[in-house]
Amino acid sequence: MLLIFCFLIGLHHSKVYFKEEFDYTWPSRWMMSNVHAEDGKQGKFTWEAPEKAWHPENAKGLKTSQDEKYYMAVADIGETVTNFKKDLFIGFTLVQTKQQKCSGSYIKFLPEGANVKNFTNETEYQLMFGPDFCGMINDHIHVIVKMNGTEYPLKNKIKTVKDNETHLYALKLYRNGTYKVQLDNHTESEGDISEQWEWFPTRLINDTNATKPDDWAEEEEILDMNDTKPADWDQPKLIPDPDAVKPADWDENDGKWIAPLMRNPKYKGTWKRRMIKNPAYVGEWKPPLIPNPEYNDEVMKAKAFRFRYIAIDIWQVESGSIYDNFIICDKEAEFDSFLAATFRKQRNIEHPGWEKDLDDDRRREEEYEKEKAENQKKNKKNEDDDGYFKDDEESVKIPSGDDYDEWYLDDI
């Protein structure tokens, strides 16, 4: 009972900055940009639900309805949102009702003071998040931070999902400097923010004064000093062909007849001791980490997000994207609870058993990657072994014509 009470207290104190489920009052909160009204390229948003909807009204969202148009809408969050010394969770759902060939479906976050009445794709933003379906280069989920005019994209490329089912896109930023990017509640990328976005200082840095101990064993394999070369190992590369017969018309004026050379089937190359696991192996040495002196409140405050508006600013060759269930808050439990009550209901109608299918797909993908890594390791080992026990065949050249001379046998 106490745990439940504490959980409810935690939810009560959570801060929900923005929540949008697109009920019939949505036009009062969203403002359309008219920058493309005169050139005829301004697309029209409609209020629709997916073909398969868990509820005819509650499943409705903001839909792009015309091909080859710009779509630009903005909503005021009501206050400036920051992740300085706070967790920050951003999410929304999206369904593509048509097959996408080249269409953006992401959202942007604009800072205080942005010209939201006439904003364009040149308007300053601080964060861009969501899928972009366009060719091989841009076919991935964007997570781009823009600070002082410089864009910092997520280094990990996360592929989009191209189907007609609703998908959940979530960005989770934690106060300890870590992050998660999730697709349908599955973590696609996670780790230290500073490792993915260069604008953010790392919490820990290498101790440049540290040195590797003299007895540090970082070689995973070593030569087996007990291994000995077999007595019959050393064999010549080339030998006279035992089946060769001196031509009947050969005479002394032609010189001494020498049988042509052939590859020696017993030749084994240069012998080297085999490799064995190093019993003293402790791994690759790395300098210890120490706190980064630049990771302080003053610097972190300057690096933190500060945005006031959420915006849709996209160009679509193929329309049909339905945005829904926006949420920005500072408590993960609140975030997950909201999306469980919206996204899961919709996805279960579209694809019963989708979670099991997703788990099966992930398992097969992990097994494939594991098998691929093992095969690469095995192939590398085979290449290394080949290098120990036989020379490249190109280095074993059989002489021809006038090269059949006595001096050549000196190299056999």
Most confident of 7-16, 213-222, 317-326, 373-382: 317-326
Length of the chain: 412
Q: What radius of gyration do the chain's Cα atoms show?
A: 33
pLDDT digits 0-9 by tens, 24-57: 999 999 999 888 888 989 999 999 999 999 998 9
pLDDT digits 0-9 by tens, 221-234: 999 999 999 989 99
Instruction: Indicate the residue type of 90.
Output: I
Rounded Cα–Cα distance for residues 184 and 161 (Å):
10
Q: Which CATH architecture has domain 11-198+295-352?
A: Sandwich (2.60)
What residues does each domain of the chain span? 11-198+295-352
pLDDT digits 0-9 by tens, 264-294: 999 988 999 999 999 999 999 999 999 888 8
The model's pTM is 0.71
Rounded Cα–Cα distance for residues 18 and 33 (Å):
20
Q: Is 110 exposed, middle or buried (0-12, 13-18, 19+ CB in 10 A)?
A: buried
Helix, coil or strand: residue 321: strand
